[in-house]
Chains A and B, each alone.
Chain A
């Protein structure tokens, strides 16, 4: 099983994720529990899947947790840090606890893609 397809950081954190192995030992969830992998999913749309950007937007995978948390929370200050374009508008949609969970999530992912993408073809699971 390839780590980059199964929210490795979420597993490392022990938050809820969907792989069977984790499901089996996950504690019973309460309704509407925060799930860092759900929070993080929307970040992928600009920062790349798992925070590994394919384009001009900064990669956030594997950055130190404290650095990410500090930066994310700083976007909520008024005025936001110099050079900010959109992240102030987005960061204000999250509680500090959400932003900390996101920082932990992305810091737990390896910065570079560890596995080539084309290997799953024909895998006999």
Chain B
């Protein structure tokens, strides 16, 4: 670092309040003029935003705040349940982001001071910003589903954030006796990773078919249709006949009460289902810090401007990823990365006094149904009249009639996608 300016003085000159004892490298003149950006969250959205801000303008001072020293991705954790990947293969560290010149702080962001534009971390220090990017992911609406709270999740895991919950569900699956029923409670829209529950069912089926062929999977769903539904159902009939039963809302599929101690759920019309392993995907909302910072609306999600992903409620704050209400874009890691790149370009332009470039967003979600059987959905989106729209005639799912080679190729491309996007986001090789 070049300029001998104390942290306190540097922050003072920038209008930030210096407090706490965290090492905070002093800033050069150019860096101060280029601006400071704080990024909350080191997942697909946050890590990408940090990387692409720095890449577009290396003089911008970028701080990434993420508690985890190693970030475990949700995408591809279902392959872990299928026995196709280790848990550690899901982990990505932040060394390459540091090499790119980003200050990575492994703490939880606890407070955003909107008036003086600074973010506080759990141990006390504040980080001042000119622009803030928040990519806080999801939190669960504990209690929205009767009987399902954090304690219940220790008995009936959600495994909808990768980490200890993933390991717990995997252990339970492996300990399950042959002939047991794996029950999954699936929420209504919107939630993180729309095809995720069905890919999970497929991967659990792959494991059970191989190791516990007398077992069954029961999917209790709070909705009547789901992402890539015909493709999943065709594949289940072909690969796992009689193994997976899907109960839609209309057939009393909506779980309204969870008894985690007895591994039992009750549906809307009073049917009870006993599980050997109970996986509850709970109702969701934007990550807590978004709510605390006045970014969410009555829906519990964050409304954003379609062309820049700047908050419609708090100027100077861009929110990307699962926390946003970005419909028709789904809540996916690909979307978060794509939104983060557009937001980074918009922030760099804005700090330099320019207009943001025209946005284009893309989503691609591969789902693996068996080791050689992949399917996908894709979408291309842009902003029109202030709204996010899917480009007409673009996107869509894999064809329903396709050869085995086609499914095999998509399985292979799914793996290629994971390697590409994780390297693009964290700089890691997986």
Q: How far is the CA of A38 from the CA of B346 in the complex (A)?
A: 10
Q: How far is the CA of A19 from the CA of B419 in the complex (A)?
A: 27
Name the interface residues of A11-57: CB closer than 8 Å to any CB of B.
Answer: 16-20, 23, 26, 28-35, 37-39, 41-49, 53-57
Name the interface residues of A68-125: CB closer than 8 Å to any CB of B.
Answer: 85-86, 89-90, 92-94, 98, 117-121, 123-125
Min CB distance, A27 to chain B, in Å? Answer: 10
Once the chains bind, are B338 and A41 in contact (CB under 8 Å)? Answer: yes
Q: How far is the CA of A37 from the CA of B52 in the complex (A)?
A: 11
Residues of A within 8 A of B (CB): 1, 5-7, 16-20, 23, 26, 28-35, 37-39, 41-49, 53-57, 85-86, 89-90, 92-94, 98, 117-121, 123-125
- Residue tally, chain B, CB below 8 Å to A: 64
Once the chains bind, are B424 and A48 in contact (CB under 8 Å)? Answer: yes
Q: Contacts A42-B338, A57-B416, A94-B380 hold; do A117 and B57 have CB atoms under 8 A apart?
A: no
Q: How far is the CA of A12 from the CA of B321 in the complex (A)?
A: 31
Q: How far is the CA of A43 from the CA of B361 in the complex (A)?
A: 10
Can you name 7 extra interface pairs (CB under 8 A) apart from A32-B357, A54-B420, A86-B378? A5-B54, A18-B345, A26-B354, A44-B424, A46-B413, A49-B423, A124-B2
With beta carbons under 8 angstroms apart, the residue of B99, B378, B393, B415 that contacts A120 is B99
Residues of B within 8 A of A (CB): 1-2, 28, 30, 34, 52, 54-59, 96, 98-101, 307, 334, 337-338, 341-342, 345, 348-349, 352, 354-362, 364, 376, 378-381, 391, 393-396, 398, 406, 409-410, 412-413, 415-421, 423-424, 427, 429
Once the chains bind, are A123 and B355 in contact (CB under 8 Å)? Answer: no
Contacting residues, chain B, for A53 (C-beta < 8 A): 416, 420
DSSP class of A's interface residues: helix, strand, loop or mixed? loop
Once the chains bind, are B358 and A38 in contact (CB under 8 Å)? Answer: yes
With beta carbons under 8 angstroms apart, the residue of B359, B391, B410 that contacts A86 is B410
Once the chains bind, are A29 and B357 in contact (CB under 8 Å)? Answer: yes
Contacting residues, chain B, for A16 (C-beta < 8 A): 349, 354, 357
Once the chains bind, are A42 and B406 in contact (CB under 8 Å)? Answer: no
Once the chains bind, are B420 and A93 in contact (CB under 8 Å)? Answer: no
Q: Quick one: closest A residue to B378, CB to CB?
A: A89
With beta carbons under 8 angstroms apart, the residue of B98, B378, B417 that contacts A90 is B378
Once the chains bind, are A55 and B419 in contact (CB under 8 Å)? Answer: yes
With beta carbons under 8 angstroms apart, the residue of B359, B393, B409, B420 that contacts A92 is B393
Contacting residues, chain A, for B409 (C-beta < 8 A): 85
Once the chains bind, are A41 and B56 in contact (CB under 8 Å)? Answer: no
Min CB distance, B172 to chain A, in Å? Answer: 31
Contacting residues, chain A, for B354 (C-beta < 8 A): 16, 23, 26, 28-29
Contacting residues, chain B, for A56 (C-beta < 8 A): 412-413, 415-416, 419
Min CB distance, A98 to chain B, in Å? Answer: 8
Once the chains bind, are A90 and B362 in contact (CB under 8 Å)? Answer: yes
Once the chains bind, are B391 and A19 in contact (CB under 8 Å)? Answer: no
Once the chains bind, are A57 and B413 in contact (CB under 8 Å)? Answer: yes
Once the chains bind, are A48 and B417 in contact (CB under 8 Å)? Answer: no
Contacting residues, chain B, for A39 (C-beta < 8 A): 360
Contacting residues, chain B, for A38 (C-beta < 8 A): 341-342, 345, 357-360
